[in-house]
């Protein structure tokens, strides 16, 4: 869970609670930027464990787990990472199943008590309906795993003879392609990498999967309404560009990584390309919006 990497030391305002038993159990965190980043389980023996899995399950993260102690108005927590300094946050309990952490830390946010993955899913649906979840996790089938591929893995793939590039600078990147079996939503995946990491990934969408607005509709179902959308070009070259903010877990050693998805659809040609990056493509939106504004004159 982002922010719990360094552990924390919290001052608790417990609204009259005289026992620390209320904090026992699993709590899912809704971070201040509007995404559920994982959960923490406080145990009765004074230890706690941190989970990064979507349903607050799986193998706990050892270095993000540790010891806790609640005395009067103070909640002390120390991770198993000896290099992690303590942090200070205020705690406000909103009832038996909710509390809030505030302060200058990634651990700040709202916490909701959950016992199993079913409750986590129900919580997500509720928070989406209330408009509190603003950034959803990218579903595993949509690319978090390939986003974490190493350069050694990418260099084993063949070069992409016809990559779709968004910037002239992309010509200097390592551009390789993975051809996919026919009949699926995507024909190929193009990876663009520099000397250190994957810069962006592009999925070439099959004609059948495009289905007018069908592909975009499926993305909205999984990720919610897009953050941005513009139209550029005319006639057969007209494109609809749509962008979402999302995130992945456990990428390059980080508990969470913010990523952007950008869909380029050319309806007349029944073509489409979906890009994912950790900001590289997202930074081009000023250019996309300028092109759209110019086309509208």
**pLDDT above 70: residue 196:** yes
From 134, 164, 182, the end of a domain falls on: 134
Please tell me whether residue 249 adopts helix, strand or coil conformation. Answer: strand
The answer as to whether 2 is a domain residue is: no
CATH number, residue 18: 2.40.128
pLDDT in tens, 49-60: 999 887 888 889
Burial 73-103 (b: 16+ CB within 10 A, else e): eebbbbbbbeebeebebebebeeeeebbbbb
170 and 209 both lie in a single domain: yes
175 and 116 both lie in a single domain: no
Identify the pLDDT of residue 26: 96
**pLDDT above 50: residue 17:** no
181 and 262 both lie in a single domain: yes
Identify the pLDDT of residue 14: 37
Question: What domain range is 168 assigned to?
Answer: 140-295
130 and 157 both lie in a single domain: no
The answer as to whether 4 is a domain residue is: no
Q: Are strands 186-193 and 198-205 parallel, antiparallel or unpaired?
A: antiparallel
Helix, strand, coil shares, percent, the chain, to 5: 20, 40, 35
94 and 129 both lie in a single domain: yes
Mean of the per-residue pLDDT values for the chain?
85
Which is higher by pLDDT, 292 or 1? 292
Please identify which residue in the block is written with the tokens 């993305």.
219
130 and 145 both lie in a single domain: no
82 and 197 both lie in a single domain: no
**pLDDT above 60: residue 13:** no
CB 70 within 8 A of CB 23: yes
pLDDT in tens, 232-281: 888 888 899 999 999 988 766 677 888 999 999 998 888 999 999 988 89
From 114, 134, 154, the end of a domain falls on: 134
200 and 284 both lie in a single domain: yes
Identify the pLDDT of residue 253: 61
The answer as to whether 50 is a domain residue is: yes
Q: Which whole number is the average pLDDT over 292-296?
A: 74
- CA separation for the pair 146, 201 (Å, rounded): 8
From 106, 134, 162, the end of a domain falls on: 134
216 and 74 both lie in a single domain: no
The answer as to whether 291 is a domain residue is: yes
């Amino acid at each position: 869970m982002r922010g719990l990497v360094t552990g924390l030391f919290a001052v608790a305002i417990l609204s009259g609670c005289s026992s620390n038993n209320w904090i026992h159990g699993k709590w899912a965190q809704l971070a201040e930027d509007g995404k559920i980043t994982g959960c923490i389980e406080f145990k009765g023996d004074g230890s706690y464990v941190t989970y990064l899995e979507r349903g607050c399950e799986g193998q706990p993260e050892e270095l993000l787990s540790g010891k806790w102690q609640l005395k009067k108005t103070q909640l002390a927590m120390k991770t198993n990472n000896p290099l992690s300094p303590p942090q200070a946050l205020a705690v406000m309990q909103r009832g038996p199943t909710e509390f809030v952490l505030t302060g200058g830390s990634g651990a700040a946010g709202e916490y909701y008590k959950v016992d199993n993955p079913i409750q986590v899913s129900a919580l997500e649906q509720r928070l989406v309906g209330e408009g509190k979840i603003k950034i959803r996790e990218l579903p595993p089938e949509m690319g978090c795993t390939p986003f974490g591929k190493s350069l050694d893995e990418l260099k084993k793939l063949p070069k992409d003879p016809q990559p779709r590039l968004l910037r002239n600078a992309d010509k200097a990147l390592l551009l390789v392609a993975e051809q996919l079996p026919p009949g699926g939503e995507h024909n190929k995946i193009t990876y663009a990498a520099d000397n250190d990491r994957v810069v962006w990934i592009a999925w070439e969408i099959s004609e059948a999967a495009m289905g007018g607005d069908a592909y975009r509709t499926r993305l909205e179902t999984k990720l919610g309404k897009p953050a941005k959308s513009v139209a550029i070009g005319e006639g057969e070259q007209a494109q609809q560009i749509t962008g979402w903010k999302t995130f992945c877990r456990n990428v390059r050693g980080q508990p969470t990584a913010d990523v952007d998805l950008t869909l380029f659809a050319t309806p007349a040609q029944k073509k489409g390309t979906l890009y994912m990056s950790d900001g590289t493509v997202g930074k081009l939106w000023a250019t996309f919006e300028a092109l759209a504004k110019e086309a509208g004159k």
